[in-house]
Homo-oligomer: A and B are copies of this chain.
Amino acid sequence: MNAPDTFSHLQPDVSLRPVPPALLAALQARFGVQYSAAPAVREQHGRDEGSLQAPPPAAVVFAHSTQDVQDAVQLASQYAVPVIPYGAGSSLEGHLLAVQGGISLDVSRMNQVLRMDAEDLTVTVQPGITRKALNDAIKDTGLFFPIDPGADASIGGMTATRASGTNAVRYGTMRENVLALEVVTASGAVIRTGTRAKKSSAGYDLTRLLVGSEGTLGVITEVTVRLYPLPEAVSAAICSFPSIEAAVRTTIQTIQLGVPIARCELLDANSVRMVNVHSKLNLREEPLLLMEFHGSPASVKEQAETVQEMVSEFGGTAFEWASTPEERTRLWTARHNAYFAAVQSRPGCQVITTDACVPISRLADCLLDSVTEADASGIPYFLVGHVGDGNFHFGYLLDPTLPQERVAAEQLNHQLVARALALGGTCTGEHGVGIHKMGFLLDEAGEGAVAMMRAIKQALDPQNILNPGKIFAA
């Protein structure tokens, strides 16, 4: 690991590039009311849900169409000015910060379903539609889109960060579920990648290259994703455990046995307490697994029985909790709001969130040592995890007036990532690199692989205008 005892990434390097007034005038002329340089609008577009900060962009353009995106990028390209695509603003690693200045390109108003192909289990949408709005729009088709990061993120943003969530253990991540894209490149060209066919060997996999590229290789203007039939039967269980270890060992065994579990979420006692307060629930304040099974009635029953045996074996108590869809929704909403519940538990706090993901057999090793370290630090924290995938998040709740807390939390994060990498894992399972994890990416991938990423970036964006200063140093 580089620089184990300094934290140069505590705040980002800011190196503003000039934004010529002529560009702003041209954007204003072209976009009229879709253009804003108002301080409040710029401020809102200059930050994300993470704790890093930088000066806001010089202006914001609200795109309504691919043509708008193309025109904005072409103008920016003409002046070699950075363009930062903006969806729901829910990223966590500083992805949206204008660390080199430039303009924010807000695509949240491009929020339409363009084409529904229920019989092929695909839908094509504009990038600004959020995951909840998408599921709302298709709710009469008997299909659903399973990828669910905590926030109600935009589909474009989820594509750009290779997002996942609680259903990924069964349905995969954006990597597996994006079939095709329309993208505006750095030169302002519109290209299409992929098709609606389920598989293809037609040349380089540009779709997968763009998924997870964090706005640095192109601005996404259309996304075709896979949908799934709503399961015939759903059953869910809340299982309490005497220890985090018991919950984790139950998870590992469930996955190794090949149970096709749809959701397998860990909450530590801290998280349960925060969620109880925030969502007015009364879950037992012990380590919990929230599990959900999808399938035919027979298959769901079989899965639940198999898992119940394992829960008992590890000293857990399973409470059947399958009753109504409303109750299930209430619980999953509470789980998705865990981050906000935690923020509320220490008013005014800043949160540093970890995102390691390890091979399932190493999950206990990785997670339990990090719990010990977090307990010893004295910093308030919570722990939630998509543990079926080997992915988990500590959230350290920092008092921003106490810089030593931030240093200590970064130290905990550093130790945790070092441990995950040593166990064959990754520094980020689903949040992306942004600014915050640039050092970790170098540790994980090595100089050679990062050099390959940088060469691709330079080839596709020679002026370095697309969300510059993210993922790796230019």
A218 nearest in chain B by CB position: B452
Q: A191-B448, A448-B185, A459-B459 known; A164 and B229 CB under 8 Å?
A: no
- Give how many copies assemble into the complex: 2
Within 8 Å by CB of A359, from B172, B189, B198, B390, lies: B198
Complex CA gap A451/B441 in Å reads 28
Which residues of chain B are within 8 angstroms of A346 by Cβ–Cβ distance? none
Complex CA gap A444/B355 in Å reads 38
Taking the nearest CB of chain B, how far is it from the CB of A90, in angstroms? 14
B206 A212 Cβ-Cβ under 8 A: no
B199 A359 Cβ-Cβ under 8 A: no
Q: A201-B161, A208-B209, A472-B203 known; A196 and B456 CB under 8 Å?
A: no
Taking the nearest CB of chain B, how far is it from the CB of A195, in angstroms? 5
- Determine if A78 is an interface residue (Cβ-Cβ < 8 Å): no
Complex CA gap A428/B198 in Å reads 11
Taking the nearest CB of chain B, how far is it from the CB of A433, in angstroms? 6
Taking the nearest CB of chain B, how far is it from the CB of A302, in angstroms? 6
Taking the nearest CB of chain B, how far is it from the CB of A385, in angstroms? 13
Complex CA gap A302/B437 in Å reads 47
Complex CA gap A29/B196 in Å reads 51
Interface string of A349-384 (1 = CB under 8 A from B): 000000101111110000000000000000000000
A445 B203 Cβ-Cβ under 8 A: yes
Q: Which chain A residues in 161-179 approach chain B with CB under 8 Å? A: 161-164, 168, 172-173, 175-176
- Determine if A446 is an interface residue (Cβ-Cβ < 8 Å): yes
Which residues of chain B are within 8 angstroms of A446 by Cβ–Cβ distance? 191-192
A203 B455 Cβ-Cβ under 8 A: no
A197 B430 Cβ-Cβ under 8 A: no
The stretch among A100-108, A117-125, A262-270, A313-321 that forms the contact with chain B is A117-125
- Determine if A325 is an interface residue (Cβ-Cβ < 8 Å): no
A360 nearest in chain B by CB position: B120
Complex CA gap A191/B209 in Å reads 17
Taking the nearest CB of chain B, how far is it from the CB of A8, in angstroms? 19
A189 nearest in chain B by CB position: B448
Taking the nearest CB of chain B, how far is it from the CB of A99, in angstroms? 17
Taking the nearest CB of chain B, how far is it from the CB of A308, in angstroms? 15
Complex CA gap A257/B358 in Å reads 34
Which residues of chain B are within 8 angstroms of A448 by Cβ–Cβ distance? 185, 189-192
- Determine if A66 is an interface residue (Cβ-Cβ < 8 Å): no
Q: A444-B195, A449-B191 known; A426 and B200 CB under 8 Å?
A: yes
A361 nearest in chain B by CB position: B119
- Determine if A389 is an interface residue (Cβ-Cβ < 8 Å): yes
- Determine if A7 is an interface residue (Cβ-Cβ < 8 Å): no
- Determine if A23 is an interface residue (Cβ-Cβ < 8 Å): no
Complex CA gap A172/B164 in Å reads 18
Which residues of chain B are within 8 angstroms of A360 by Cβ–Cβ distance? 119-121, 198
Which residues of chain B are within 8 angstroms of A458 by Cβ–Cβ distance? 459
Taking the nearest CB of chain B, how far is it from the CB of A163, in angstroms? 7
A175 B199 Cβ-Cβ under 8 A: yes
Within 8 Å by CB of A202, from B197, B198, B256, B426, lies: B426
Which residues of chain B are within 8 angstroms of A302 by Cβ–Cβ distance? 296, 298-299
Which residues of chain B are within 8 angstroms of A444 by Cβ–Cβ distance? 195, 202
Taking the nearest CB of chain B, how far is it from the CB of A231, in angstroms? 9
B199 A391 Cβ-Cβ under 8 A: yes
A449 B176 Cβ-Cβ under 8 A: no
Complex CA gap A175/B198 in Å reads 11
Within 8 Å by CB of A389, from B198, B203, B391, B452, lies: B198
A460 nearest in chain B by CB position: B455
B426 A195 Cβ-Cβ under 8 A: yes
- Determine if A471 is an interface residue (Cβ-Cβ < 8 Å): yes
Which residues of chain B are within 8 angstroms of A460 by Cβ–Cβ distance? 452, 455-456
List 6 A-B pairs, minimum CB-CB distance, nearest first.
A208-B208, A459-B459, A191-B448, A200-B426, A119-B361, A120-B359
14 pairs from A and B in contact (CB 8 Å cutoff): A120-B359, A120-B362, A121-B256, A162-B199, A195-B424, A197-B426, A197-B429, A198-B391, A199-B389, A200-B426, A201-B429, A203-B453, A296-B302, A456-B460
4 more A-B contacts (CB under 8 A) besides A176-B176, A203-B453? A191-B449, A201-B428, A203-B450, A204-B213
